[in-house]
Every structure is written in C-alpha cells, then in structure tokens.
Amino acid sequence: MFAANETGGAYAEYLAVKPAAVARKPANLSFEEAASVPVASQTAWQGIFTHGHLEKGQTILIHGGAGAVGAYAVQLASHAGATVIATASGDDEAYVKSIGAGRVSDHRKEQFEKVVREKVDVVFDLVGGDTQQRSFLVLKEGGHLVSAVQPVSQEEAARHRVSGEMMRLAPSGDVLAKIARLLEEGTIRPDVATVYALQDAAQAWKDIATKLPRVHGMSPSGPAAKHGKIVLRVA
Ligand SMILES: NC(=O)c1ccc[n+]([C@@H]2O[C@H](COP(=O)([O-])OP(=O)(O)OC[C@H]3O[C@@H](n4cnc5c(N)ncnc54)[C@H](OP(=O)(O)O)[C@@H]3O)[C@@H](O)[C@H]2O)c1
C-alpha cells in the first residue's frame, strides 16, 4: 500500500494515514519508487483535472514541467489527449519532450507569452510570481489558471474572464489508485533522483540547499539522475 500523508512529514518508519488516502502499491515499482509517487502525482492530477478541468483535445501550459509535479502533469495531460506546452530550463527540453510535451519554452531565454501564440485552455502554475502574472495573457476566455504555489489574483482573473485558484493537495485513495494503474501499465513513470538513508536526512537537505542533491546520494538506477524526487530509505 502507499499514500500521501496529509499532515506532512514522512521521516518515520510508521505513519498513521486515513484509509481513504491509501491505494495498492503498483507491483512493478520498488518501495523507493513508490514512495516518490503520491504527493507529486496527486498534486498534478488534481491540479490539471479536478481544478483545471482539462479535457481531451484542449491545450495546457505547464510551468515547471521538468520538476517532480510538473513531470507528472506533463505525462497525465499528454495521456489524456491534451496538447502540452511546458516551460522549463533549456537543458531540460529533451527530457520534458520525452515525457509528452509537444513544445517547451526555455524560461531562462524567452518569455513564454511571446512564443506561445495560441491561447490555452488551462495553465498549471508550479512557479508563481511574475510567471503566474503573465499567464493571464495566454489563457482563453473561460480558461482556468490553477496554481500549486501561490494565490491567484481574483481581480486579474475577472478582468481576463478566466477562473483562477490556488490548489492544495487533498490525498485521495481513488485518485492514487488511478495513478497506480497508469504506473503499472507503464503509461506514466516515476522518477527517483536520489535515495538517502534516513540517518542522512540532514545531509539530503544540505545537498538540496546547495543544489547538489545528487552528489552524496545514490540513484537506484546507477548514476544519479537529474530529475525526480529525493527519497529517504527508512529500513
Ligand atoms: N499546493 C500543493 O499541494 C503542492 C503540492 C506539491 C508541491 N507543491 C509546490 O509545487 C512546486 C513545484 O514542486 P516540485 O516538487 O515539482 O518542485 P521541483 O521538483 O523543484 O521542480 C521545480 C521546477 O521548476 C523549474 N523552474 C524554476 N523556475 C522556473 C521558471 N521561471 N519557469 C519554468 N520552470 C521553472 C525548475 O527548473 P530549473 O530551476 O532548472 O529551471 C524545476 O524543474 C513547489 O513550489 C512545491 O512546493 C505544492
């Protein structure tokens, strides 16, 4: 079984979680891979489907498409039959395209609103700030701006005739079971950057803070990967 802990905090061998938040662990995933799934994937699912109302044939712009949540959003939106545009660093372009984005705008080199010519149905914002502000310019009337990082100005949303809301993950065993099926059939994939032993949690935070999360850890698939979640092995 696996689940996202609603109250946060997973540095423990045992946790109490609500039964309604639990789903069966995909048989093909290791425990480290499974541990990396619930928070990022459910945030993506609820952001794009529950709050963003994304449908087949629509276009979505995902800010931060190479991140842990963004990578699930790209995969899920692409699988749902949407056209996916993502913002990411230029060196992540090949990765983000490989998981389903049709187009990638390099946030370090260009302003997405100058290159995304068509209007989009949904913006999923995992970046905030100025990026969120400029997102109103590319949304269709009636579209949805969903942010996982900061509140959305209701004045701006009304002015552009779109809906805008900040979402917060609400762990759901039903959603997680659907995600588990997609993982099990290989439609989407998890991404673990680094696994640390529980006693090295402080080092993990230091490495994250210095943007060198892969130096001291060990990727389960050999050389440490650039993307994905950092996992603590508790036993
Ligand atoms: N509301 C909720 O319930 C909820 C749940 C989970 C996560 N979150 C939040 O969601 C956010 C994303 O989480 P995450 O785990 O996916 O983080 P992450 O793995 O650190 O990914 C963030 C990504 O954004 C990219 N990025 C940074 N600045 C950007 C910009 N201006 N334009 C486009 N991409 C940019 C980063 O790449 P480079 O730095 O290489 O450019 C990185 O790939 C975090 O703020 C997290 O706290 C919220």
- Confidence at residue 197, expressed as pLDDT on a 0 to 100 scale: 93
C-beta of residue 3 within 8 angstroms of C-beta of residue 177? no
**Mean pLDDT, to the nearest integer, of 47-69?**
98
Q: What is the largest CA-CA distance in the chain?
A: 53
In angstroms, the CA 17 to CA 6 distance is: 8
Q: Which residue has the tokens 């799934």?
A: 37
- Confidence at residue 181, expressed as pLDDT on a 0 to 100 scale: 98
Beta carbon of 173 within 6 Å of any ligand 1 atom = no
- Confidence at residue 211, expressed as pLDDT on a 0 to 100 scale: 64
Mutation probe of ligand 1 site: the residue of 127, 147, 229, 230 with most atoms within 8 A of C-beta: 127
Is the per-residue pLDDT at 225 higher than 60? no
- Confidence at residue 12, expressed as pLDDT on a 0 to 100 scale: 79
Mean confidence (pLDDT) of the chain: 91
Q: Please, what are the domains in the chain? A: 44-166 (3.40.50.720), 191-235 (no CATH)
- Confidence at residue 9, expressed as pLDDT on a 0 to 100 scale: 67
Between these two residues, 117 and 57, which has the higher pLDDT value?
Answer: 57
Atom of ligand 1 nearest to the CA of 66: 43
Beta carbon of 144 within 6 Å of any ligand 1 atom = no
Interval between CA 63 and ligand 1 midpoint (Å): 8
Exposed/middle/buried for residue 138 (C-beta within 10 Å: 0-12, 13-18, 19+): buried
- Residue with the smallest CA separation from ligand 1 atom 17 is 67
Q: What are the tens digits of pLDDT across the range 9-54?
A: 678 778 888 899 999 999 999 999 999 999 999 999 999 999 999 9
Beta carbon of 176 within 6 Å of any ligand 1 atom = no
Q: What are the tens digits of pLDDT across the range 125-169?
A: 999 999 999 999 999 999 999 999 999 999 999 999 999 999 999
Beta carbon of 34 within 6 Å of any ligand 1 atom = no
Would you place residue 177 in the very low, low, confident or very high pLDDT band (cuts 50, 70, 90)? very high
**Mean pLDDT, to the nearest integer, of 220-225?**
44
Beta carbon of 42 within 6 Å of any ligand 1 atom = no
- Confidence at residue 217, expressed as pLDDT on a 0 to 100 scale: 40
Using N-to-C axis directions, what is the helix angle for 173-184 and 38-45, rounded to 10°? 100
User: Amino acid identity of 164?
Assistant: G
Is 100 in a helix, a strand, or coil? coil
In angstroms, the CA 144 to CA 121 distance is: 6
Is the per-residue pLDDT at 216 higher than 60? no
Interval between CA 130 and ligand 1 midpoint (Å): 14
Angle at 127 between CA 144 and CA 205, to 5 degrees: 140
Q: What are the tens digits of pLDDT across the range 79-89?
A: 999 999 999 99
- Confidence at residue 219, expressed as pLDDT on a 0 to 100 scale: 42
CB-side neighbour CA atoms (13 Å) of 134: 15
- Confidence at residue 160, expressed as pLDDT on a 0 to 100 scale: 98
Between these two residues, 169 and 219, which has the higher pLDDT value?
Answer: 169
